[in-house]
Amino acid sequence: MCYTSGTTGNPKGVVYSHRSTLLHSLATLFADGVGLCERDVVLPVVPMFHANAWGLPYGCLLAGTSLVLPGPGMTPDAVLTLIQDHRVTVAAGVPTIWMGLLPKLGEYDCSSLRILLCGGSAVPKSMSEGFRAAIGLPVLQGWGMTETSPVATLGVLRSQHDDLSDDDKATVRALQGPPVPLVDLRIADPETGAEQPWDGTTSGEVQVAGPWIASEYYRGEGGGTQFTSDGWLRTGDVAVVDGSGYVKLVDRTKDLVKSGGEWISSVELENEIMAHPKVAEAAVIAIPHERWVERPMACVVVKDGETLTADELIAFLTDRVAKWWLPDAVEFIDEVPKTSVGKFSKKTLREKFEGYSLS
């Protein structure tokens, strides 16, 4: 049993069965996925209590894969030393881990790597391309939750993408990818429950079902509201899906900013902010507004040794997002608060700025 990380609410218990764990382990061996095999050396920079380290230890055991288990104090130098010394081929972690490694990649030998797996929150395109430029290996993005054991989608490139330009391939890698085999996925209107089309434009709440997807929480926590009457998990993530089944996360339902009746994606706005060369981290939350109901606030961490003003940041964003998406407030903070598994804790930020309003 593992507990959800509680980024938007209280943690809830998810109970796994032997069958669900075995089937999920098999999924880590699929060739069009992580493709674990006996020759691999896997470094999960993920705590065991976080969806069983993404299920990787079980997949490694099944394939006979070597496993490097990191200890506490996972600084960028410590992680890169493990990769170099143990000739790691597959490493997995949340975006905050890989962001910390980027500036130091040139100091270590990372040539053994074949996959850098990233999940937990959307991967900025700029970060993935930073790895590709530094070591020739972009980030492989996946999506899932504690409730999905957790792997549900993987952003692999397929033969249909072979003739794309490097920039277009980077755009595809910025998606969360199609559902892995045995996982059913649909998007639905969060208010009416009506299923939405896979047209790459229409958004809806991601709902999933399958043999390793939870159907209830431990002791009925949450009151069953996260599960539909026909057996689908309501993930709380909002996404669009294209005709090939590639998922693009737009936001969490609780993190969307609704301004003047229109939705603003905090995830997309964060990715554009983090593309600024002076920005280390950024999180966007909704702030009450007298006229527009809600407006976006950007909480920004500036890289060490750099200076940045709110006006400079807004000027940078002007040509990158719609005018009405531009943050009405920019707050510079020392660090974006994180959960125990390294995800941005917007719940903490909302509590910190409670009472902050715009007019």
Structure pTM?
0.76
Residue 9: per-residue pLDDT: 58
pLDDT 10s digits, 293-310: 889 999 999 999 999 999
Active site residue 198: no
> Is residue 359 domain-resident?
no
Overall average pLDDT of the 216-230 stretch: 86
| Of the ranges 36-40, 202-206, 349-353, the best mean pLDDT one | 36-40
Collapsing DSSP to helix, strand or coil, 133 comes out as helix
Residue 322: per-residue pLDDT: 87
pLDDT 10s digits, 128-170: 999 999 999 999 999 999 999 999 999 999 999 999 999 999 9
Residue 136: per-residue pLDDT: 95
At residue 261 the predicted structure's pLDDT band, cuts being 50, 70 and 90, is low
Residue 341 and residue 196 in one domain: no
Final residue belonging to a domain, choices 252, 275, 302: 252
The residue with greater pLDDT, 164 or 97, is 164
**Alpha-carbon span 222 to 78, nearest angstrom:** 39
Pairing state between β 203-209 and 184-188: antiparallel
CB distance 248 to 176 below 8 Å: yes
pLDDT(6) > 70: no
From the list 7, 54, 96, 147, the catalytic residue is: 147
pLDDT(318) > 80: yes
The residue with greater pLDDT, 112 or 268, is 112
Residue 235 and residue 283 in one domain: no
> Is residue 357 domain-resident?
no
> Is residue 162 domain-resident?
yes
Final residue belonging to a domain, choices 252, 269, 300: 252
Residue 224 and residue 327 in one domain: no
Residue 196 and residue 294 in one domain: no
Residue 204 and residue 332 in one domain: no
Query: Which of 3-12, 63-72, 245-254 shows the lowest mean pLDDT across its residues?
Result: 3-12
Give CA separation, 249 vs 149, 177, 345, in Å: 19, 10, 17
The residue with greater pLDDT, 251 or 287, is 287
pLDDT 10s digits, 20-37: 999 999 999 999 999 999
From the list 75, 81, 107, 258, the catalytic residue is: 258
Residue 50: per-residue pLDDT: 81
> Is residue 269 domain-resident?
yes
> Is residue 213 domain-resident?
yes
> Is residue 178 domain-resident?
yes
The residue with greater pLDDT, 281 or 120, is 281
CATH number at residue 15: 3.40.50.12780
Query: Which of 153-157, 196-200, 348-352 shows the lowest mean pLDDT across its residues?
Result: 348-352
At residue 7 the predicted structure's pLDDT band, cuts being 50, 70 and 90, is low
Average predicted confidence (pLDDT) for the chain: 91
Distance in Å from the first CA to the final CA of the chain:
46
Active site residue 4: yes
Residue 163 and residue 291 in one domain: no
pLDDT(103) > 80: yes
Residue 329: per-residue pLDDT: 94
Residue 341: per-residue pLDDT: 67
At residue 199 the predicted structure's pLDDT band, cuts being 50, 70 and 90, is very high
Residue 285 and residue 209 in one domain: no
What is the CB neighbour count within 10 angstroms for residue 86?
Answer: 15
Burial of 8 (0-12, 13-18, 19+ CB in 10 A): middle
Total number of domains in the chain: 2
Report whether the peptide linkage leading into residue 11 is cis, meaning its omega lies within 30 degrees of zero: no
CATH number at residue 344: 3.30.300.30
> Is residue 230 domain-resident?
yes
Residue 217 and residue 273 in one domain: no
From the list 8, 104, 253, 263, the catalytic residue is: 263
Residue 294 and residue 231 in one domain: no
Residue 27 and residue 77 in one domain: yes
Residue 158 and residue 65 in one domain: yes
CB distance 127 to 99 below 8 Å: yes
Collapsing DSSP to helix, strand or coil, 280 comes out as strand
- Domain residue limits at 221: 1-252
Final residue belonging to a domain, choices 217, 234, 252: 252
> Is residue 358 domain-resident?
no
Residue 186 and residue 228 in one domain: yes
Overall average pLDDT of the 225-252 stretch: 90
